[in-house]
Amino acid sequence: MSIDLKNVDYVYDSGEPFEYFALRGISLHIDDGAFVGIVGRTGSGKSTLVEHLNGLLFSTRGDVIVDDEIVRNERTVLAKVRRRVGIVFQYPEDQFFAETIFEEVAFGCRNYGFSKEQVDESVHKAMSTVGLDSERFLSLSPFQLSGGEQRRVAIASVIAMGQKYIILDEPTAGLDSGSKLAVLAELESLRQTANVTVILVSHNMDEVAEFCKQVVVLDGGTVAFQGSTDAFFRDAGLVDRTGLELPQSYRLARALKECGSTLTVNECSTDRMLDSLRLCVSDLGGA
């Protein structure tokens, strides 16, 4: 089971003189249980692509296939697809409407006809996944929380539905650095414990390098790269051509290499980079 896109085009004003290809010939494969990053400069088609995956938009040409189901504008198909693919949009706390956090998180579960016990269980589980104490929070109003807490409740309101694929569009935008890392770590643990596929749309390359094993790079509505995140960031020319930035760790590694240093660092994450650097430096000190 997986998400596959086959030669997908999405055209605004198709056939008109001002037709505009938002997506052009996109072919993709996203494995179950992966943590995939979708990156690209502003206007490269990331959000348009993501909205194809749960049937908010439909391709002009080509097929979007979610677990053998071709996404079409038919009620039964859409119900099935949306039951499997959840999206946390940018600034998801803007969608809050309920009087209590419990009601907010339970909204999706109720829409999918969960029984009362299932709703209770899903809400508690989702709250603990995003690191919020059910006892303390569930009876509060979602509007009286801090920004970081609101973001977590919004994420919980999607993951409570127990979908197989969770797409997050810039989930860490506007959060302080501590909350950023915590939110992403919670998603990683969700992926490991519940075998949920996480698709992360992000502009923050440090995040992508640290959490996404695979990456899809969009440029001008086409796929510029698809594969291992490490391979992408090692190709500094491609990173530059697609309008992206190298993560800090890869920049340091490059700089060390360029000045012929014998120091080597682990690029995969900032923490590991610091660890490997510490190791190297203590080796030097010992020598």
**Lookup: tokens for 259:** 């000045």
Q: Which ranges of 54-201 would DSSP assign to H, the alpha helix?
A: 75-84, 101-111, 116-129, 134-137, 147-159, 177-194
Examine residue 171 and tell whether it contacts other proteins (CB under 8 A): no
Q: Which of 28, 36, 46, 89 binds other proteins (CB under 8 A)?
A: 89
Cβ-contact 201, 45 below 8 angstroms: no
CB of 93 or CB of 267, closer to other proteins: 93
Tell me the CA distances in angstroms from 60 to 14, 72, 134, one per residue in order: 8, 11, 44
Torsion angles phi and psi, residue 75, rounded to 5: -55, -45
Give dist(CA 96, CA 212) in Å, integer: 29
Helix, strand and coil content of the chain, in percent to the nearest 5, comes to 45, 20, 30
Beta pairing partners, 218: 223
From 34, 87, 123, 126, residue interacting with other proteins (rule: CB under 8 A) = 87
Here's the x/- map for other proteins, 39-58, by CB under 8 A: it reads as: ------------x--x-x--
**Looking at beta carbons only, is 87 or 277 nearer to other proteins?**
87
| Interaction pattern, residues 120-139, with other proteins; x per rule: CB under 8 A | --------------------
The reply to whether 247 sits near other proteins by the rule CB under 8 A is no
Which amino acid, residue 184? L
Measured CA to CA, the distance from residue 141 to residue 104 in angstroms comes to 9
User: Which of 92, 171, 221, 247 forms a contact with other proteins (CB under 8 A)?
Assistant: 92
Question: d(Cα 144, Cα 219) in Å, to the nearest integer?
Answer: 40
Interacting residue with other proteins among 96, 121, 230, 274 (CB under 8 A): 96
Q: Does 168 bind other proteins (CB under 8 A)?
A: no
**Binding to other proteins, residues 138-167 (CB under 8 A):** 143, 157-158, 161
Q: Work out whether 211 is an interface residue with other proteins (CB under 8 A).
A: no
Work out whether 112 is an interface residue with other proteins (CB under 8 A). Answer: yes
The token pair at 142 is 């979602």
Q: Do the beta carbons of residue 273 and residue 267 sit within 8 Å?
A: yes
Residue 59 binding other proteins, by CB under 8 A:
no
Distance of CA 30 to the CA centre of its chain: 12
Per-residue binding letters, 3-42, with other proteins (x by CB under 8 A): ----------------------------------------
Region from 27-35, 106-114, 190-198, 201-209 binding other proteins, contact rule CB under 8 A: 106-114
The residues of the shown chain that bind other proteins, judged by CB under 8 A, are 51, 54, 56, 82-83, 86-87, 89, 92, 94-97, 107-108, 111-112, 143, 157-158, 161
